[in-house]
Amino acid sequence: MEKKSLLLIMMIAGMATLFAAAGIMAGTTAPDVIELNSPEYAKHKKGIVKLTHKKHVEEYKAGCGECHHDDKGKPLALKAGDDVQRCIECHKIPSERPKGKGAPKLSKKQRLEYHAEALHYNCKGCHKNFNRRTKTKAAPTTCAKCHPKK
């Protein structure tokens, strides 16, 4: 009877390990290149940016938290395979903020509710810091350098 109980316990432990491993592996895998083509936009005004995710991680040593953050802007401590939300889940307005004469004056928090504003703020800020740190202009900071012509 003792051998049967031990065998049963070992089988249950083995199955639990297998399910746990499957759960760990079930996270998101990021493609090497991510097209920032959110279907929530009725129409994209500029060409679709292709984020070279693998290049940013491997060559530029960008950590996950440099782009992915919580609702307070604090970097997330992610690891490969972790699930991540799409930016538009929090930055819900699929456009740039209103600009020009008569546009409302918005706080930073209000501006970052606009999806395009949040992406530009994050990407351009990081690129400008990279250029300052490396004393180069290697990281793009203008529209045409990231958005291909339509």
User: Which residues fall in the annotated binding site for heme c?
Assistant: 53, 56, 64, 67-69, 90-91, 123, 126-127, 143, 146-147
With residue 35 as reference, give the H or E element that holds it. Answer: strand 34-35
Q: How buried is 116 (Cβ within 10 angstroms: 0-12 exposed, 13-18 middle, 19+ buried)?
A: buried
With b for 16 or more beta-carbon neighbours within 10 A and e for fewer, the 9-46 pattern comes to eeeeeeeeeeeeeeeeeeeeeeeeeeebebeeeeebee
Map residue 36 onto helix, strand or coil.
Answer: coil
Binding site, by residue number, is 53, 56, 64, 67-69, 90-91, 123, 126-127, 143, 146-147
